[in-house]
Chain A
Amino acid sequence: MTVSEAELGALVGHEFPGGRYSIAHWENFLLTEATGRGPMPGDLAHPVHLFHVPIAGAGTSLAELFALGRAESDASITIDYYDWETLQPLREGVEYEVRGRITEHERTQPGAGPIVDALGFLFELSDPDGRPAARVAFRWHYWRWNP
């Protein structure tokens, strides 16, 4: 049975535990290589880290985000949008403090199609001196094919 709209709406405001994350050299090297370019200069981290560093740093995981939205399966989620704001370049070895929360829920059912629940997330990174480093927002669609 499909999760109720009220149950998902109650997730708005949910805060993740928060925590710290430091990008390791091996991680930066391998992830940068996977993007198809050569290594980043110096200790700069590739900005693609703005996908998983906020999630892991805030003390959650992709699996938990899937579960919180009551995904029917790991493959039943699509992306609405990403909004990645870089306030200072990410660097290897810097211990970023990360906070994150769920910001919105919206249920739609276009036409005779399946129910789609959209959940919005916001994560904020700051450096060890407390200066903002990045602000990452995204919204996912959880498709309900089996009501």
Chain B
Amino acid sequence: MTARVGDRIPGWTMEVVSDARMRTVAAILRDPNPVHWDRASTARLGLGDRVVNQSPISLSYIQNMLMECWGPTCIKRLRVRFPGVVFEGDRMKAGGVVRSTEVGGHPGALECEVWLEHEDGTRAIEGTAIVEPGPPGMLG
């Protein structure tokens, strides 16, 4: 099946963002920001009593969606902004749509609009991805 402009990428869902995973990630990243592991810190900042997911881990939900659709080496470029925040306990869904099948310098590549949104549809991440589909996948 060949991807076409307007095709929706099958979504990828993180059912519950976990504070335990954030602690693991903070240790690996040597991330000193307490908002990822100390609820008192987020409370002091007026962000409530839940810790904040690390931005690369939130972004990884989009990466997982793309890899599930087009294979583990499909992602060539990701350009994203972060209009919202992801907290522990949130349910997040990654989504996307094919915007172009002609990408300069990347024969066979697709340009996609991608996002990560909360259950109410508000976006935590939005941007574009360039992917090169691997072996035949769902859209490639």
A interface residues with partner B (beta carbon < 8 Å): 27, 30-31, 33-37, 40-41, 44, 46-48, 50-52, 56, 61-63, 66, 74-75, 77-86, 89
Contact = CB atoms under 8 A, between A and B. Distances in A.
Interface residues of B, number: 36
B21 interface: yes
Given A75-B34, A83-B79, A89 B73 contact: yes
Given A50-B56, A62-B32, A79-B81, 10 more contacts: A27-B28, A34-B60, A35-B61, A36-B60, A37-B67, A37-B68, A44-B72, A47-B75, A75-B34, A89-B73
Interface string B4-36: 000000000010000001101100111111110
A84 B77 contact: yes
Contacts of A30: 24, 28
Contacts, number: 102
A51 B30 CA distance: 12
Nearest to B23: A34
A48 B56 contact: yes
B103 interface: no
B45 interface: yes
Q: Is the interface of A mostly helix, strand, loop or mixed?
A: mixed
Interface string B29-71: 1111111000001000100000000011101110110011000
Contacts of A86: 75-77
Given A31-B25, A75-B33, A52 B77 contact: no
Nearest to A90: B73
Contacts of A80: 81
B95 to A, nearest CB: 16
Given A52-B28, A63-B32, A46 B79 contact: no
Nearest to A26: B28
Contact of B29 (A46, A47, A51, A77): A51
Contacts of B41: 75
Contact of A81 (B21, B29, B61, B80): B80
A51 B82 contact: no
B32 to A, nearest CB: 5
A40 B64 CA distance: 10
Most buried by B among A48, A61, A77, A80: A48
A33 to B, nearest CB: 8
Nearest to B129: A84
A62 B59 contact: no
A34 B24 contact: yes
Nearest to B53: A34
B45 A75 contact: yes
B44 to A, nearest CB: 8
Given A37-B64, A48-B56, A78-B82, A83 B29 contact: no
